[in-house]
Chains A and B, each alone.
Chain A
């Protein structure tokens, strides 16, 4: 059932021209940024080579690329998540799901998995671009893998938050604005707070930084897992309340 709902979500995404447009535009931005970083790297490489322990291509090209993708996704994911439940409610199609023999958990997880699969497809271009560097240099696989896993966890937490906001309202736009406001707020809490403040701990982007610099910390990973789980549970609860409050 979960897979069925996920597949329907994917199919309806790909049925919309705007999805293909965003997909294309984003690949263009990624590629442009990647080439710009690569050019900068090639320019300073002779000077870097004189250092005792020079930073490699992965650190100077891949890490900023992933960091930029993390910021872009923060703004992009709410646009995709806004439709998930709010639009079903607006078009009255939610009744079909609610009157069918599926639990709220299956509905929520199905939608979560569907959109996450699409976004993974979207960010899969990043490691592929980096992989082309392997033609000229040795890649730091560890750093690349930690960046990839960090970005996947980050995306999952964004989707869960967006899904929750989508379940709160009938208007997709309001869901998008709400999710974006919270994500931007969490980001500002990170960049605005003084260095030793606990505020940083709230922000998904702060926890992504360790992944970004190649540091796999189980506390960062559990933060993302917790964040995602909490918002998925809240969404399930909200759908159950849908039956109670109408």
Chain B
């Protein structure tokens, strides 16, 4: 009997992610054909993006690509010249008050009232976003715990370190549990340990709400984002899952290490190898055409001539290389 119950329980647990994923297909934020100019200078060109519940979207791009401007438009701080923004199905331009209640926004510079203490400030932020006074106390405790601000509650914000100020900024964006969380470079100014915490926090937030964050740090995208969109000169030039992006710039190459290496010229002669770079007396970086049997040839040659192969590691493109490749391709 107990087994059956356990089985049912297990089944329920298994099936709950399924029901969750059904709910997660809900679109929380959609922007269509946004464009925006400052004076005669066009900053955003015809930009569209969509965000699903339970998704973390990374907006990536070099400085001045229009990331912050885009986020400002998505949060209603800046009106687009043309285009349409919907938050949870509510039109941001037509019903700004209703739509904005669903948004939590951390701008580039956290909007902190420096003379307030953390508790008062967060309470104000929660009430401003339309939370009831009775619910604020519980929300305040929870958000302080999530952002690691337990000890800072009674401190005046201007006396806090940059890292704590940034965390307070994140806390004000999530205290009212919004459906859409918009973070503009959330990890700027934090130390490595704090960066790790904040990334973990963003991942957690991505389970219940949708998060859109802008960054120029590629590692951030790799570690927290489900999807990546790259902007350049105010346009979206690339969009894919963050895993897909790593496959984008295919590099076929291997790092090999041989205890008794042959002359460099012999390695170059192997069919399909385009270049060989010797990184140390026994280590080589080999680049070859994709989808050839170069590796097999190499292995058999190594066995035949007793090169004593010690290591054979495939090369991965880092996100950085991919990013450079994508932005360069677009520039051409």
Binding site for B on A (CB under 8 A): 1, 4-5, 8, 11-12, 15-16, 91-103, 243-244, 246
Contacts and interface: CB of A to CB of B under 8 A. Distances in A.
B125 interface: yes
B76 A95 contact: no
Given A11-B120, A92-B109, A93-B112, A98 B76 contact: yes
A244 B128 contact: no
B193 to A, nearest CB: 26
Interface centre among A12, A91, A96, A102 (most CB of B within 10 A): A96
A246 B116 contact: no
A11 B103 contact: no
B100 interface: yes
Contacts of B172: 96
A66 to B, nearest CB: 33
A102 B103 CA distance: 12
A246 B97 contact: no
Interface residues of B, number: 33
Contact of B100 (A12, A16, A99): A99
Contacts of B316: none
A100 B79 contact: no
A187 to B, nearest CB: 33
Given A100-B100, A101-B97, A243-B78, A95 B128 contact: no
Contacts of A12: 113, 115-116
A15 B107 contact: no
B77 interface: yes
Given A101-B101, A103-B97, A96 B130 contact: no
Which of B38, B77, B115 has the most chain A CB atoms inside 10 A of its CB?
B77
A98 B101 contact: no
Contact of B111 (A16, A95, A103, A243): A95
A110 to B, nearest CB: 10
Nearest to B101: A101
B94 to A, nearest CB: 13
Contacts of B96: 101, 103
Contact of A244 (B76, B79, B100, B108): B79
Contacts of B72: 95, 246
Contact of B114 (A1, A91, A246): A91
13 contacts: A1-B128, A12-B115, A91-B111, A91-B112, A96-B111, A96-B125, A99-B75, A101-B129, A102-B128, A103-B96, A243-B76, A243-B78, A246-B72
A131 to B, nearest CB: 35
B101 A99 contact: no
Nearest to B79: A243
Contacts of B199: none
A8 B116 CA distance: 9
A59 to B, nearest CB: 43
B121 to A, nearest CB: 9
Contacts of B116: 11-12, 15
Contacts of A98: 76-77
Contacts of B98: 101
Given A98-B76, A99-B105, A16 B115 contact: yes
Interface in B82-112: 96-101, 103, 105, 107-112
A108 to B, nearest CB: 15
Contacts of B97: 101-103
